[in-house]
Amino acid sequence: MMTCAMCDNKKPLKKTKITHKYKECGLDNVTLVGLEYFRCEKCGEEYYGYGNMEKLNEVIANTLIRKKEFLSGFEVRFLRKHLGYSGSMFSKIIGYDGATLSRLEKGAQPVTKAFDRLIRFTVAAKIPDRNYDLHDQILKGEGMELKRIELTAMAHGEWKLKVA
Ligand SMILES: [Zn+2]
């Protein structure tokens, strides 16, 4: 049972399931279906039951690096943050200066094919147990048409992925 952490309401919070635009991740095209949601009747504080957020974000990261079109700046930023890097650390790793990376992430400078690939492989190098091969995907010209990501909450903190 979960109680409110923000006020003295001792009553257990009522759990509902909602469909939620996951804008907190920095992307506006990710929808979570069946997300657990709690709201304190006394103070109005809201709580989202993301469960293992690392796992959730990893599903999104794995999906982004398999898309057919180039990554957007916001997607690059999501991926960098998912790996846990600051802008300056990540720019060191990929061999870009921080200002250029910042412009790319903000969309002030267009993502090139070489930059897109660099980001994908940098991310893939840190994600274990992938069930796909990025080399293969690129050589075969495969990849997902990706406009929207929909994730449905399943048992045991798993997420079912649907790409549209
Ligand atoms: Zn409260």
Residues of the chain with CATH 1.10.260: 53-163
**3-state secondary structure (DSSP) of residue 161:** strand
DSSP characters for 147-159?
S-EEEEE-GGG-E
Q: How confident is the model over 59-92, as pLDDT tens digits? A: 999 999 999 999 999 999 999 999 999 999 999 9
Q: Separation of 103 CA from ligand 1 center, angstroms? A: 40
Calculate mean pLDDT across residues 110-129. Answer: 94
Q: Beta strands 46-49 and 149-153: pairing type?
A: unpaired
Query: How many A from CA of 30 to the centre of ligand 1?
Result: 28
Which option is the CATH number for 53-163: 3.40.50, 1.10.3470, 1.10.260, 2.60.120?
A: 1.10.260
Kindly report the pTM of this predicted structure: 0.90
CA angle 116, 161, 68 (to 5 degrees): 25
Q: Are 30 and 21 in contact (CB under 8 A)?
A: yes
> Ligand 1: distance of its center to the CA of 154 in Å?
28
